[in-house]
Amino acid sequence: MADNQQLKGNLAAIQHQLAELTYKIATMETNFSRQRSLERRPRSRDRRSISRGRRFPARPYTPAEGLCYYHFNFGARAYKCQKPCNWSPTTTETTQQKEN
């Protein structure tokens, strides 16, 4: 009888250890899966979104100002002018010379 009780105690201890090991393995698998998914994400996207953010909001394009989209945004550097456009390089050059 004592042997039977001892065997039952040993079996219960083994079952308890097996349950603990199963839990630990499941936890390790979950952590491993999370780590792998984090490694797959491109890290550069996060940095780029922060570093390339605009410090100042862009002026909204309004065609009522008489300039085409390209001259509005690029000024004298525009090379795809679209008509109608009231761009005048002489006016801009004069203004730039006064600023210098």
User: Can you tell me the mean pLDDT for 77-98?
Assistant: 68
Positive or negative torsion for Cα 59, 62, 66, 70 = positive
Q: For 10-43, how does the pLDDT look when each residue is reduced to its tens digit (9 = 90+)?
A: 898 999 999 999 999 999 998 888 888 777 766 6
Q: Are 67 and 86 in contact (CB under 8 A)?
A: yes
Q: Give me the amino acid identity at 77.
A: R
More confident residue, 79 or 42: 79
pTM of the predicted model as reported, rounded to 2 decimal places: 0.36
What pLDDT is recorded for position 15?
92
